[in-house]
């Protein structure tokens, strides 16, 4: 038991912790027992009866409601996508931009956010980037806004160094200047609380295989339904307000759905969505605020340990500027990642070091194990040098 929740009980739901010290949820969260069981139910139904499709679609709606509750959105504002990249491309192409308009972004942000907008350059849209710093807020963008600026797009939490930017002040700036605001929350959702109404986002995109604890192949898109002028650049029957019951397309009735369903295209990733329902239940049971607080405490312990070893932290140290769960230690990845793997410590190489990314199941013992593995190698090298 910790002061936030019973982390040992949570660990029992993640079998991966018996095999290794897993510090790589920023790449892919390990599967929990509830998610596995939920997906197995779908497989059994599909295998034995080819599936109760109407029941499956009811479960899609249930997952949509749970996801909306996590984000303080209406269910009608949530669409399912394949991943973050698709969600960001949907958002970028739905904005009513014309040649000569410009969009502001952050240099070095995740490429799949950047490329969605850079692709608009062929339509005459100018993409302008402000420098990446530890503290980005509305003021960081203000001086770059001119009469042709139409939108700001950015990540809430950076994947490469764990910055947590002040999206509320950026949202307030966008409201002041009548700009569209698009946010990638891939590295935040499921660990950092997000209130889409408080932020004032136009679109929010994310995948679900990190903090939302399901395998790859599922994403989400939040759409502010007050922005009725925003429509998809593609169309399918599922996207329509009045899809034809007889499956005959009618060019005189092509109005997009009044919900975020206007951005959905074709069939759903049903097994992943059922897994997502179980994951969202687990997150709700533990409490998103508790998950964040637990990860912050582990992060404090990690930073203190790195300081003792004289290892630089890449990215912000202050809680007000950093994500609770993503930390990059300045150790050369090509020299360290394989070594960590040989010691059953799983983490990721990153731009300026190795990334340690935490989940609800991690403990202080995991941090201690990581630090001990670093000490072992350093001691071994010192002995050989002597």
pLDDT in tens, 234-291: 999 999 999 999 999 999 999 999 999 999 998 999 999 999 999 999 999 999 999 9
pLDDT at 386: 47
Residue 22, strand partner residues = 346
Q: Are 184 and 207 in contact (CB under 8 A)?
A: no
Instruction: Reply yes or no on whether the pLDDT at 381 is more than 70.
Output: no
Residues 220-230 pLDDT 10s:
999 999 999 99
Any idea which architecture 7-23+287-385 has in CATH? Alpha-Beta Complex (3.90)
CA 306 to the chain's CA centroid: 26
pLDDT at 22: 98
Instruction: Reply yes or no on whether the pLDDT at 384 is more than 70.
Output: no
pLDDT, mean of residues 357-377? 97
Give the whole-number percent of the chain exceeding pLDDT 90: 96
Of residues 109, 24, 73, 115, the one with CA closest to residue 326:
24
Joined tokens for residue 15: 């079998």
Q: 238 vs 61, 138, 247, 268, 364, CA distance in Å? A: 14, 37, 11, 11, 47
Instruction: Please give the mean pLDDT across all residues of the chain.
Output: 96
Rounded to an integer, what distance in angstroms lies between the CA atom of residue 26 and that of residue 348? 8
The Cβ-side half-sphere exposure at 52, using a 13 Å CA radius, reads 9
Of residues 350, 256, 352, 249, the one with CA closest to residue 23:
350
| Cα radius of gyration rounded to whole Å, the chain | 22
pLDDT at 39: 97
pLDDT at 382: 62
Any idea which architecture 35-284 has in CATH? 3-Layer(aba) Sandwich (3.40)
Rounded to an integer, what distance in angstroms lies between the CA atom of residue 267 and that of residue 10? 33
Q: Are 190 and 163 in contact (CB under 8 A)?
A: no
Single pTM value for the model: 0.95
Q: What are phi and psi of 89, to 5 degrees?
A: -70, -40
pLDDT, mean of residues 168-195? 98
Instruction: Reply yes or no on whether the pLDDT at 315 is more than 60.
Output: yes
pLDDT, mean of residues 65-77? 98
pLDDT at 266: 87
What lies within 8 Å, CB to CB, of 222 at 6+ separation is 71, 73, 77, 78, 79, 196, 201, 203, 204, 205, 260
Residue 96: CB atoms within 10 A of its CB come to 12
Of residues 216, 172, 202, the one with CA closest to residue 92:
202
Helix (H) or strand (E) holding 43: helix 33-49
pLDDT at 3: 85
Joined tokens for residue 368: 């201690």
Residues 99-120 pLDDT 10s:
999 999 999 999 989 999 999 9
Q: Domain limits of the chain?
A: 7-23+287-385, 35-284
What end-to-end distance do the CA atoms of the chain give, in Å? 44
């Amino acid at each position: 038991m910790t002061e936030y929740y019973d982390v040992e009980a949570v660990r029992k739901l993640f079998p991966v912790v018996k095999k290794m010290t897993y510090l790589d949820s920023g790449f892919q969260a390990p599967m929990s027992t509830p998610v596995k069981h939920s997906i197995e139910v779908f497989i059994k139904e599909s295998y034995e009866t080819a599936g109760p499709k109407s029941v499956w679609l009811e479960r899609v709606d249930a997952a949509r409601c749970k996801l909306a509750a996590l984000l303080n959105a209406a269910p009608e504002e949530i669409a399912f996508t394949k991943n973050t990249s698709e969600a960001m491309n949907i958002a970028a192409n739905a904005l009513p931009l014309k040649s000569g308009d410009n969009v502001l972004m952050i240099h070095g942000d995740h490429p799949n956010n950047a490329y969605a907008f850079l692709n608009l350059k062929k339509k005459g849209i100018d993409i302008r980037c402000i420098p990446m710093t530890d503290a980005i807020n509305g003021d960081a963008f203000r001086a770059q806004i001119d009469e042709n600026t139409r939108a700001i797009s950015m990540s809430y939490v950076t994947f490469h160094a764990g910055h947590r930017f002040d999206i509320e002040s950026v949202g307030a700036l966008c409201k002041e200047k009548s700009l569209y605001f698009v946010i990638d929350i891939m590295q935040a959702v499921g660990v950092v609380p997000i209130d889409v109404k408080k932020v004032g986002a136009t679109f929010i995109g994310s995948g679900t295989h990190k903090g939302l604890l399901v395998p790859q192949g599922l994403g989400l898109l939040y759409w502010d339904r007050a922005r009725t002028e925003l429509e998809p650049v593609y169309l399918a029957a599922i996207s329509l307000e009045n899809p034809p019951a007889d499956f005959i397309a009618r060019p005189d009735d092509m109005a997009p759905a009044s919900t975020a369903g206007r951005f959905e295209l074709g069939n759903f990733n049903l097994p992943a969505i059922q897994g997502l329902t179980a994951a969202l239940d687990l997150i709700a049971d533990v409490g998103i605020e508790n998950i964040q607080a637990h990860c912050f405490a582990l992060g404090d312990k990690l930073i203190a340990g790195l300081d003792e070893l004289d290892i630089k932290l890449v990215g912000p140290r202050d809680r007000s500027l950093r994500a609770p769960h993503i930390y990059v230690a300045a150790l050369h990845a090509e020299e360290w990642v394989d070594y960590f793997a040989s010691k059953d410590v799983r983490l990721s190489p990153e731009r300026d070091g190795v990334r340690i990314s935490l989940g609800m199941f991690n403990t202080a013992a995991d941090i201690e194990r990581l630090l001990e593995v670093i000490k072992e190698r350093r001691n071994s090298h010192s002995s050989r040098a002597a």
